[in-house]
Structure 1
């Protein structure tokens, strides 16, 4: 598939993400900044610095009361094994735990509530009326009433795990939330009653990813024990199917959004396997950390391996894009609702890619919050929620502004969102899962 075939409806309707010039977040940077220059059409970005003709980076605007992150001596990713960084080590068969290193990190400073600063945080120049932030700005009712309509605060917290929680996912209707990790079992929450059900511990090692089958109560789990298992949240007391074939730790999985009998999984040997519910499979190379299908149509599959994100045509298994630019391993991927933009997170930065051009159009660098997980806000298309160590970064890409929200007591290992309910879930190594809205 060539690049012209990947043009979406956004080529006819300008999206606020694409219209913004790539900016560096100078407020959060320490020392020399890396290049904010977009990748070229082949996806081979220039990471050596801006060209002499490029425009200077636009400094971020300080958000009143957002505080300044404290500088700490964080473990460098090059000295910490990948499995340790992503999953910790309880029950993984001999890996040294990263908990002590993380627990020694100084507590980050808390900041005021998002409601207090939402006026500045959501401010936007008079731009396209399709932009949610611009619409709020021009609405005469904005300020008091409109500001109070946006918040991001904790609405629920359940600690049902005895060990680190690694992954979480909402069902399509938003009524169920599944979480899993070092306990080797899945906790399924009924979001209306907050009652929980548990699967048995049939996995031999930690669960690395959990994903609901679209429009179903069924869900699948991937594990360090090299298997993928299928469950039904309506009857979680036994495993429906076990899928074997991987020869190394299975690190991630995802269901196709339309062909919901199809899913894929990837392992530490960089192998991606495609399965259907009846066990048939095909194999290709290119993913070792995370796999995510493009929403709605599922034409594309994003896969992270090392510090490179690859995009594959899910029909032909052919790679269409290679997206380099991260300097450390990519831990998390997420698509926007329309599947036109892909966000990738590594410890040092978050990058947002346009699939129509294959370019990085936004980049946020970390000064120590050790980015680990990422999700687009379910109601605000230009707002990204980034999970780091103990706190969130809420990144308004349109204005390149960030707000820090204290959230957990340890690494925020995974994020999930439900467009139906507008809720965001966060899973953490502190053994808890929290709900935000």
Structure 2
């Protein structure tokens, strides 16, 4: 029900965001402004000022089910997007405090393509849809997972998308003339996969969050390394392109930073 902001240099707590009434499902920072947004089981999306987080700047209501994920558009500062457990995707105007468009497509996690923001990737069950941000049309339906997709992430250039289910990770090409093609696949070797992120300084390295461990998958060398990391499921991963750190959050109630 609360989000906590930390300074990564000294690991001291900056502030606590406490307006949601139920579990927070996703947290995203704006790529262009000192803003962050949170989504929750309380069916709302809230936008916060990082420098003055005592209360939310905006509260978006309208979803009829728990909001499962959200994201800021990479270069349209006014646009934020969210999806709920019944598959409804909403575009919101931060300035107007109202929703701009509503359509169907994602239930688990959704992420805008970095840099260009041409695509919105949205996971629902075992399929990842690639939606045109302007028209909402489905350009690609990425199929191949046998179990539901828990996590998706883009590489920094927006040309690759990784999708994770508990038994496999698939990397899809969305550039260079091979759009919608699965170019890498890794099967689980005993431990359940759950989350993923592209390494901030090694383009061919994918970091996968599992139960208690991190799996480092070098796609170019076709090698994998397992690191003991937590006492519970690693539910979320994030990276900082500014300092090259990888952050892992686990059900063991710890957040860890990795170099």
Q: Which residue of 1 aligns with 2:50?
A: 233
* Whole-Å separation in 1 of the counterparts to 2:13 and 2:35: 15
For residue 215 of structure 1, the aligned residue among 16, 32, 39 is: 32
Alignment of 1:15-414 (within 5 A): 184-277=1-94, 278=96, 279-356=98-175, 357=178, 358-414=180-236
What residue in structure 2 maps to residue 418 of structure 1?
A: 240
Contact 2:207 2:216 in 1 (8 A): yes
Asked which structure has the greater RCO (Cα within 8 Å, sep 6+), the reply is 1
- Asked if the contact 1:229/1:243 (under 8 Å) is kept, the reply is yes
- 1:391 and 1:199 map into 2 onto residues whose CA distance is 28
TM-score by length of 1: 0.57
The answer on whether the counterparts of 2:33 and 2:77 sit within 8 Å (CA) in structure 1 is no
Structure number with the higher helix fraction is 1
* 1:199 aligned counterpart, secondary structure: strand
Greater Cα radius of gyration, structure 1 or 2: 1
**Post-superposition offset of 1:394:** 0.2
Let me know the Cα RMSD of the aligned residues.
Answer: 1.0
Cα displacement string for residues 387-407 of structure 1 (whole angstroms, at most 9, x for unaligned residues) = 000001000011211000010
Report deviation, 1:240. Answer: 1.3
Q: Deviations over 1:300-351 (max 9, x none)?
A: 0100000000001101111100001001110111111111110000001000
The answer for the alignment partner of 1:429 in structure 2 is 251
> SS at the partner of 1:372?
strand
Deviation at 1:200, TM superposition (A): 4.1
Structure 1 residue runs of 5 or longer lacking an equivalent are 1-183
Q: Which 4+ stretches in 1 moved above 3 angstroms?
A: none
Look up the match of 1:163. Answer: none
